[in-house]
Chain A
C-alpha cells in the first residue's frame, strides 16, 4: 500500500515538472517558428525572429536600460547592505535584529503597494526624472536579497581575521576589502544574482515609474505583446531564459544551488 502511495507521489512529481516547463518550452519553440502565427505543433524552423530583435530599436533600448538599472541598483544595495550587515552582525548598533528585519522587509510588501508608494512620494518630492526614480526604487527592491545572503554569510565569518589584518597594518576599510570580501564572496555572488534578477524582471513597481522614453524590458515586452504579438517577443524571452540558466549554472559552480535557495 505504501508502495502505491510512493508511485503516486513520483507520478505527481513527473506531471508537475511537465506542467511547470510546458509554457517555457512552448515559448522557446515558438521563437523558432517560421510564421507569424503561434501554432502547435510547429511547422518548421527559422532564426528570423532572433534577427528581428536586432532591428527592434525600442526592445534593445529597454534591455540596455534594464541592465543599467539592475547593475547600478545591485551595486548600491550591495554596498549599503553589506556595511549595514557588518554593523548588525558585530552588534555595533542597538536593536540589530529589528534593523535587519526592516532592511529585508520590502520583500514582504506586495510589489504594487511599493510601486504606488514610490510614485506618490516621487510626485510629492517633485522628482520627475524617471531614470532616477526607477534607480532609487530598484535599490529598495534589491536590498532584501542582499541583506539575507550577506547576513547569512557573515554569521560564519571570523571577524578576528579583520583585526589580524589591522594589526598587520591595514586600515579598516582596506582590511574589509582584502579579507572580508573574498571570504564572503559566495554569499555576495548569490545575493547579487538574485538582486539582479529581481530588478531585471520587476514589473509591478516599474510600471508606475516609467515614462514613454524610459521603459524597462518587462514593460516593453508587455507593450509589444499588446500591440503586435509576433514571435520576436518569444525570441527575446528565449534569450532571457538562456541568460538565467547560464547565470544559475555559474552560481551553482560558485555556491551550490541548494544553499542559494535556502537563503
Chain B
C-alpha cells in the first residue's frame, strides 16, 4: 500500500513541480497546526533540558547520567523493557505461528481475539490484573489448589505482578507483527528441508526462523520502544517500589517541579527508544542489500 502511495506521490511531484498549484494550500492548515501544537512543544522540551539560570548548561544530564540513583532508574526501565520483550517474543512466537497456520473462519475469529485486548483500555486490564492478584484472587486460588502454597500470599505490588501485567498488556504488540511475517511463509519450504534430511530443529533454525526474522525484528523493536517508555502499567502494578524513567518524569513535573530533571530524563528516554527503532530498521534492511 505504501509503495503505491510513494510511487504515485513521486510521479505526481515530477509533473507538478513546474508550476505552483493553489491546491497545495490544502496541506497548510494541518501542517501549521502540527508545527505549532506538536513540533514547537517538543523542541521547547529539548531546549528546556539544556536551560540553566545562567545560559545553556548540561546540569540536567549530569544529574541524570552521573547520579547512581538515576542511573539505577534508567537501568530499571531498560531491564523492564528487555525482560518484557524477551518474554513476549518467546510466548508470542509459537502462538503467532499457530495463528498463521489457522484457516478460514477460525483464523478470522482467532485474529479478532488477539486484536480485541489491544482496544481495551490499559486501566481496565491493569485493574483486572490487580483483582486476579489479590489475596482472594484467582492466582492465589490456583496456587493453593495446585498445592504450591498453603496460605494466600501477597502478590500485589510485587515484581511478579509487574511482569505478569506488562506481558499481558504488551503481548498483542508482539504477536501481530510476527503473524504478518508468518502469514507469507511458504510451509512447503520447511517440508522440503525435512525431506532433504534436516531435523526439525535444523529446519527451524535454518529455514523458518530466518524467513520470519523481519517479523521478529519489527515485534522486538515495537515492544521494546513502547515498554521502555511505559508509564500507566508499571505505576499501577508496582508503584514507587520499582521506579522507572517515566515515573521520574511524571514526578519531576507533577510533584517536585524540577522541570530540568524531567526534561533531561525525557530526552534520555527518547534517545534510548530511537536507538532501538533505528537499529531495527537498519537490521531489517541489511539482509536485502546482501542479496
Q: CA–CA, A23 to B2, complex, Å?
A: 36
**Contact A240 B48, beta carbon cutoff 8 Å:** no
Residues on A with C-beta less than 8 A from B263 are: 116, 120
**Contact B37 A136, beta carbon cutoff 8 Å:** yes
Q: CA–CA, A114 to B116, complex, Å?
A: 26
For the residues of B in contact with A, the DSSP-based class is helix
Q: How far is the CB of A166 from chain B (nearest CB, A)?
A: 12
**Contact A8 B108, beta carbon cutoff 8 Å:** no
Q: CA–CA, A84 to B31, complex, Å?
A: 7
Task: State whether the Cβ of B92 lies closer than 8 Å to any Cβ in chain A.
Answer: yes
Task: State whether the Cβ of B63 lies closer than 8 Å to any Cβ in chain A.
Answer: no
Q: Which of A46-54, A57-65, A104-112 is the contact stretch?
A: A104-112
**Contact B95 A9, beta carbon cutoff 8 Å:** yes
Q: How far is the CB of A104 from chain B (nearest CB, A)?
A: 10
Q: Which of B53-61, B122-130, B210-218 is the contact stretch?
A: B122-130
**Contact B131 A113, beta carbon cutoff 8 Å:** no
* Residue on A nearest B141 in the bound complex, by CB: A40
**Contact B10 A91, beta carbon cutoff 8 Å:** yes
Of A10, A110, A203, the contact of B98 (CB 8 Å cutoff) = A10
Q: CA–CA, A112 to B268, complex, Å?
A: 13
Residues on A with C-beta less than 8 A from B17 are: 94
Q: How far is the CB of A231 from chain B (nearest CB, A)?
A: 10
Q: How far is the CB of A23 from chain B (nearest CB, A)?
A: 3
Of B40, B99, B128, B132, the contact of A13 (CB 8 Å cutoff) = B99
**Contact B21 A13, beta carbon cutoff 8 Å:** no
Of A87, A113, A139, the contact of B23 (CB 8 Å cutoff) = A87
Residues on A with C-beta less than 8 A from B27 are: 83-84, 87-88, 92-93, 99
Task: State whether the Cβ of B65 lies closer than 8 Å to any Cβ in chain A.
Answer: no
Task: State whether the Cβ of B277 lies closer than 8 Å to any Cβ in chain A.
Answer: yes
Q: How far is the CB of B263 from chain A (nearest CB, A)?
A: 7
Total contacting residues, chain A, CB less than 8 A: 95
Residues on B with C-beta less than 8 A from A116 are: 45, 249, 253, 262-263, 266
A-B Cβ contacts below 8 A, count: 283
Q: CA–CA, A252 to B108, complex, Å?
A: 11
**Contact A111 B98, beta carbon cutoff 8 Å:** no
Known contacts A13-B95, A27-B127, A40-B136; is-contact A20 B171 (Cβ 8 Å): yes
Residues on B with C-beta less than 8 A from A24 are: 117, 120, 124-125, 128
**Contact A17 B124, beta carbon cutoff 8 Å:** no
**Contact B121 A201, beta carbon cutoff 8 Å:** yes
Residues on A with C-beta less than 8 A from B291 are: none
Task: State whether the Cβ of A70 lies closer than 8 Å to any Cβ in chain B.
Answer: no
Q: CA–CA, A96 to B6, complex, Å?
A: 9
**Contact A120 B95, beta carbon cutoff 8 Å:** no
Q: CA–CA, A155 to B134, complex, Å?
A: 51
Residues on B with C-beta less than 8 A from A119 are: 253
Q: A91-B9, A103-B30, A121-B40 given; name 10 further pairs at CB < 8 Å.
A: A2-B190, A13-B94, A23-B168, A38-B136, A40-B136, A81-B30, A97-B6, A114-B41, A207-B254, A225-B123
Interface on B for A, CB 8 Å cutoff? 1-2, 4-6, 8-17, 21, 23-27, 29-31, 33-34, 37-42, 44-45, 48, 91-92, 94-95, 97-99, 101, 108, 110-117, 119-129, 131-132, 134, 136-138, 141, 168, 171-172, 175-176, 180, 190, 194, 199-200, 203-204, 225, 229, 231-232, 236, 246, 249-250, 253-254, 259, 262-263, 266, 269-270, 273, 277
